Chains A and B, each alone.
Chain A
């Protein structure tokens, strides 16, 4: 079966959980065999893992005809695209886009990030999708998250192939209910045009059904999974701390509920003193959190080391005794699974999608500071609590595999194709 996927991020150049999930799912689907997947992203760097999917860069796809030589194309974009594919795509340009801001190869430049002119990039991406859809042969279209819904719709209109959209998050999660009408419009348009909708949790499924008014029959949950850790990450250097460490890792934004963590920390510190709290990450609520910690008079025990990347993340998890994710609304939330892989006991909010598939974690309501503080106290005070959560957590998370999630997606494809 041939699938055309539209995504925004792909490892190793990722900005959030979307890239990790897209990668894991694609790889997991390939492991089930008999899958031919093309994955479109705005801007490939050439160092992506292409062993299980063909990667096409929207920024290397011509939308205006330029008379380029093979050697020139090879020298310009040979690291990310086979020149033959460039020429094939060039023969499928469907309109005159010379009025647009294109480069010497007739391509639009993409940042591949989340720039201020994001809506413009989304639109450009959709224009490019028209060329790609006309060029390639595929059975089904799969769009990851709202940025790529317009591209998916376009490809569906051009080819008549069924469209699956994958909801990794909705604007309701990002904004605590205060949605941006433009984003909401794009999301809902994608959902209405989709032949099937995959959500990453039942929580998100309910949001799609209730907030976007979608027929429940065409919405299916496929929970995310987690890639096994490489030996390198498993064996990252361990910083031995004399004191217990409780860690929050992620964007310091409204969605992640950082203030509840500060409040819970203050409660714990009233009773226990050999513990430190870490809020790693950056975001628009960071300054407010620094002030809140100061108000609570716990700044000497509450630390803000800033944004962590790559190996640092795993070093930090390894040095922690507790990982906490008090998100107000988390469609899935992959980070507790990563913490569990490192053997760090996790506390997560019941409002997180991953709570639906995890047993060996502590689940509390995001607002229940007392319960959260109690759980922190328990893990750092009672050795069996730590040991049991650690050992059972590792065993549990090792069973959450992308190939199983991939199988579910393939089943959905088959059902759609049989009905089509």
Chain B
């Protein structure tokens, strides 16, 4: 074992305000600005900003040997720009060290990859453009929302030109295989597959401050020795954490900052390097091909998509949302597109999960129950769909609409074509007139006669006026 890839992910959705059914058709603003501001500002103070500062120190102190990857959703970046702009600045400083790599992902942390390839494409492009605009980087490695992945999605990712993607090292997929190698994807043989090491990631994310854990307390020394103990021939350990793990889930007083900060020192002691994901993808060869039929993710024990698409509520909301996907692709209204993007955040569906209903694990939900979450979301979605319908009446079938739009498009090109022909004809007429001037003369003569008759009229009027005087 010689290398670690360390990933930090940040995502914040645009949470919805309380939206009653009688607001449908009347109120087109959906977001709880107060909650969104409060949450991201609080997390920035407790976690994001001090963690950024620490990472910068770590990079500098290690002589730039410490490297790290970030995946930040577009909706989180927008909220940073709006509420905590200093975080963007501090990220820029980090990026300037050259030791930070951004991953690509769907803009609003959406499940578009499971429903609409076009929308998936659009969101990824939108996200990567924003990253390029702010940090001057073009992401090369892709990480889907919540590590959702299967062979079909792999093909979509490869189509967009990514060299590698990272997903969850789910036991039911890997079996006896280790997540600490690079694999090839069955869905896109040329794309490399990195697997998150679930155990080592969760030892930090979940167990770090758990005093009843038998390994408690976890020290950087101990942690690195676990990694050093793994078989020599293993290639890469992918440790992926929510950025809030540092200072948020585990508050500063648990010692999480000191733990992270000490990692590079003990890594160096044990001969372990930090790599960036694109580096790993370029340097390492795939040892095997892995096929995934049903989508996997990093969620709960099931490691599937049932946290977002597990019950009737979630399916209805999801299907209803993407029922307008085709129409939106034809739309150019900016506000509508923005709402479309925000409403796709998978969080909205997560709040409707009844999987752990009653045992308190709906901790991050702003709603009292999944039913409240569903009702609120569906009310908002109803209004949104009314607006979409305003642009493209739902009474017209998608095919028909498409046909109409194609007709318009065809007619447009036909007009262009006809204009060309017209122009060509005019030219040829000109050419012809040079050869044969006589008919043109005749036309001119006609025109002058009409003008003359008009002149006559005015003169007669003048004369009548005169006689009146």
Q: Residues of A with Cβ closer than 8 Å to B?
A: 267, 270-271, 359-360, 362-363, 370, 373-375, 377-378, 381-385, 387-389, 391-392
Q: What's the Cα separation between A359 and B316 when bound, in Å?
A: 20
13 additional contacts, CB 8 Å, given A271-B21, A374-B375, A385-B375? Answer: A359-B369, A362-B372, A373-B22, A374-B21, A374-B379, A375-B371, A375-B375, A377-B21, A378-B375, A382-B316, A384-B315, A384-B374, A388-B371
Residues of B within 8 A of A378 (CB): 21, 371, 374-375, 378-379
Q: How many A-B residue pairs have CB under 8 A?
A: 62
B357 at interface, CB cutoff 8 A: yes
Give bound CA distance, A383 to B313, whole Å: 9
Tell me the count of chain B residues lying within 8 A, CB to CB, of chain A.
Answer: 21
Q: Can you list 11 A-B pairs with a CB-CB distance of less than 8 A?
A: A362-B369, A362-B371, A370-B20, A374-B20, A374-B21, A374-B375, A374-B379, A377-B21, A385-B313, A385-B371, A388-B312
CB B354 to nearest CB in A, in angstroms, measures: 7
Q: In the complex, what residue of chain B is closest to A385 when comparing beta carbons? A: B374
A416 CB, min distance to chain B CBs, angstroms: 31
The answer to whether A384 and B313 touch (CB under 8 A), given A359-B358, A362-B371, A378-B378, is: yes
> Which of B22, B317, B357, B368 has the most A CB atoms < 10 Å from its CB?
B22
Contacting B371 at CB < 8 Å: which of A373, A377, A381, A389?
A: A389
Q: Is B116 on the interface with A (CB-CB < 8 A)?
A: no
Judge whether B178 is part of the interface by a CB distance below 8 angstroms. Answer: no
- B410 adjacent to chain A (CB < 8 Å): no
Q: Which residues of the partner chain A approach B311 to less than 8 Å between Cβ atoms?
A: 388
A271 pairs with B312, CB closer than 8 A:
no
How far, in Å, is A271 (CB) from chain B's closest CB?
A: 6
Chain A residues near B313 (CB-CB < 8 A)? 384-385, 388
Q: Measured between alpha carbons, how far is A391 from B371 in the docked complex, in Å?
A: 13
Interface string of B291-321 (1 = CB under 8 A from A): 0000000000000000000011101110000
Closest A residue by C-beta to B21:
A377
Neighbouring B residues of A363 by C-beta, 8 Å:
368-369
> Contact between A267 and B22 (Cβ–Cβ < 8 Å)?
yes
- Bound-state CA distance A381–B21 (Å) is 10
- CB of A354, distance to nearest CB on chain B (Å): 14
Query: In the bound complex, how far is the Cα of B146 from the Cα of A306, in angstroms?
Result: 54
Q: Which residue of A lies closest to B19 (CB)?
A: A374
Residues of B with C-beta under 8 A to A373? 20-22
Q: Distance (Å) between the CB of A273 and the closest chain B CB?
A: 14
Closest A-B pairs by Cβ, 10 of them: A384-B316, A378-B375, A377-B21, A384-B312, A388-B312, A374-B20, A359-B358, A384-B313, A387-B312, A382-B378
Contacts of B369 in A (CB 8 A): 359, 362-363
- Please determine whether A383 and B316 come into contact, CB atoms closer than 8 angstroms: yes
Q: A381 to chain B: which residues have CB within 8 Å?
A: 21, 378
Q: Tell which of B311, B312, B315, B368 has the most Cβ of chain A within 10 Å.
A: B312
Q: How far is the CA of A344 from the CA of B66 in the complex (A)?
A: 59
State A389–B311 Cα separation when bound (angstroms): 11
Q: Smallest Cβ distance from A50 to chain B, in angstroms?
A: 38
List, in ascending order, chain A residues with CB within 8 A of B375's CB: 374-375, 377-378, 382, 385
Chain B residues 345 to 394 lying within 8 A of chain A, measured CB to CB, are: 354, 357-358, 368-369, 371-372, 374-375, 378-379
The smallest beta-carbon distance between B369 and chain A, in angstroms, is 7
Binary interface encoding of chain B residues 14-35 relative to chain A, with 1 for a CB under 8 A from any of its CBs, else 0: 0000001110100000000000
Report the separation of the CA atoms of residues A373 and B23 in the bound assembly, to the nearest whole angstrom.
12
Residues on A with C-beta less than 8 A from B371 are 360, 362, 375, 378, 385, 388-389
Inside 8 A of A370's CB, which chain B residues have their CB? 20
Please report the C-alpha to C-alpha distance between residue A86 and residue B311 in the assembled complex, in whole angstroms: 60
Docked pose: A377 CA to B357 CA in angstroms:
23
Expressed in whole angstroms, the Cα–Cα distance for A360 and B374 within the complex equals 13
Of B24, B357, B372, most buried by chain A (CB within 10 Å of CB) is B372
List residues of chain A with CB within 8 A of the CB of B379.
374, 378
What is the minimal beta-carbon distance from A360 to any residue of chain B, in angstroms? 8
In the complex, which residues of chain B have a beta carbon less than 8 angstroms from the beta carbon of A377?
A: 21, 375
| Measured CA separation A271–B369 after assembly (Å) | 24
A68 to B336, CA, bound (A): 90
Question: Which residues of B1-46 have CB atoms within 8 Å of chain A's CB atoms?
Answer: 20-22, 24
Q: Which residues of chain B are near A271, meaning CB under 8 Å?
A: 21-22, 24
C-alpha gap A267/B316 in the complex (Å): 25
User: Least Cβ distance of A4 to chain B in Å?
Assistant: 37
Expressed in whole angstroms, the Cα–Cα distance for A168 and B311 within the complex equals 36
Distance, CA A375 to CA B375, complexed state (A): 7
Q: What residue of chain A has the Cβ atom nearest to residue B381's Cβ?
A: A382
Contact A388 B354 (CB under 8 A): yes
